Amino acid sequence: MTGLAIDDISMRFELPKGGSVQALKNVSLDLKPGELMSVLGPSGCGKTTLLNIVAGFLAPTEGKVVLNGETVVGPAAERGMVFQQGALFEWMSVRDNVGFGPKMKGMAPGEKREIVDHLLDVTGLGDFKEKAIYELSGGMQQRVALARCLANDPDVILMDEPLGALDALTREKMQGLVLKLWRETGKTIILITHSVEEALLLGERLLVMAPRPGRIHKEYRLPFADMGVNADLREVKKHEDYNPTREEILSMIWNMEEEIMGRSETSA
Ligand SMILES: Nc1ncnc2c1ncn2[C@@H]1O[C@H](COP(=O)(O)OP(=O)(O)OP(=O)(O)O)[C@@H](O)[C@H]1O
Ligand SMILES: [Mg+2]
């Protein structure tokens, strides 16, 4: 049994002062190896919670996550995480950051060097191998984060707003890089984003979540990620289905946010 199964996950956080928050309710999802899924939804709908459960950082109150037939019981190298920012070793060189996982695994130095050099070349960091992280721009740091994740050769890559802190132009370039790496490595990827455009461009499957309690609202299967592997993303946006789908999802999320605000006004 290969692939990732999220099987009827519910998550309730008990609050220290009493009461609880139902962050997720009955979320089920299957991803085949190599699928790329983007996840959208209003703030607080449980996206990060779901990713943390798949990563093994949090144990769900109900349900389970199964990867390649094995139930997830904690973090492991088979599930790599890329955060929005700040998860690199600032004082170490680019090379040492990317080689950290292979080193911890006890990989022979020659083999490690080969893997690290290759990943730094494909992420366009070939000329920056010996630089320290704090010397790099935000976009370059996120490329290091991607390379470091890939160096562990995970089956699944989990990304929580990986491009959220970047300027628009760098972000667009990075979206192209994510698609290129996806195609070249065949990894299963779950990518959370607040950008509807990014979710459309990168999501072969696009999941819209709804809040209170967090649950799956709607799923789309889209052609744009496949198209974007070989074409300029600006060309992909000219596809006749792109704008109508974008409008539909924008109003879906807008309506959810209106409803949340309405509810909190009446409860206030
Ligand atoms: N450790 C925790 N303790 C208590 N409540 C929590 C905890 N973590 C998350 N929550 C609550 O669970 C709900 C879902 O949070 P989560 O961070 O998963 O949302 P999100 O969809 O990632 O939001 P955003 O888009 O703002 O990042 C929220 O109501 C949040 O307040
Ligand atoms: Mg979040």
Count of alpha carbons within 13 angstroms of residue 27, beta-carbon side? 35
For residue 47 and ligand 1, the question of a CB distance below 6 A is answered with: yes
pLDDT band at 268 (very low <50, low <70, confident <90, very high): very low
pLDDT band at 258 (very low <50, low <70, confident <90, very high): confident
- pLDDT confidence of residue 265: 60
pTM of the model: 0.94
The answer, yes or no, to whether residue 229 has pLDDT greater than 60, is yes
What's the Cα-to-Cα distance from 97 to each of 55, 121, 184, rounded to whole Å? Answer: 20, 15, 22
Atom of ligand 1 nearest to the CA of 209: 21
* Three-state secondary structure call for residue 210: strand
pLDDT band at 207 (very low <50, low <70, confident <90, very high): very high
Q: Mean pLDDT score of the chain, rounded to an integer?
A: 93
The answer, yes or no, to whether residue 167 has pLDDT greater than 80, is yes
- Per-residue pLDDT of 102-160, as tens digits, reads 999 899 999 999 999 999 998 899 999 999 999 998 889 999 999 999 999 999 999 99
Say what percent of the chain tops pLDDT 90.
Answer: 81
The answer, yes or no, to whether residue 165 has pLDDT greater than 50, is yes
Mean pLDDT of 167-175: 89
Say what percent of the chain tops pLDDT 70.
Answer: 97
- pLDDT confidence of residue 86: 72
1-13+30-78+154-249 has which CATH code?
A: 3.40.50.300
The answer, yes or no, to whether residue 267 has pLDDT greater than 60, is no
Atom of ligand 1 nearest to the CA of 212: 29
Mean pLDDT of 85-99: 90
Mean pLDDT of 56-75: 97
36 closest CA partner among 252, 228, 230 = 228
* Three-state secondary structure call for residue 127: helix
For residue 13 and ligand 1, the question of a CB distance below 6 A is answered with: yes
179 closest CA partner among 162, 166, 167 = 162
> DSSP code of 43?
T
Which residue's CA is the nearest one to ligand 1's atom 24? 43
> DSSP code of 140?
H
How many A from CA of 39 to the centre of ligand 2? Answer: 11
Q: Which of 35-39, 152-156, 172-176 has the lowest mean pLDDT?
A: 172-176
How many A from CA of 59 to the centre of ligand 2? Answer: 17
The answer, yes or no, to whether residue 262 has pLDDT greater than 90, is no
- pLDDT confidence of residue 169: 87
Mean pLDDT of 216-225: 97
For residue 228 and ligand 1, the question of a CB distance below 6 A is answered with: no
Beta bridge partners of 192: 39, 160
218 closest CA partner among 29, 23, 63 = 29
How many A from CA of 119 to the centre of ligand 1? Answer: 33
- pLDDT confidence of residue 259: 84
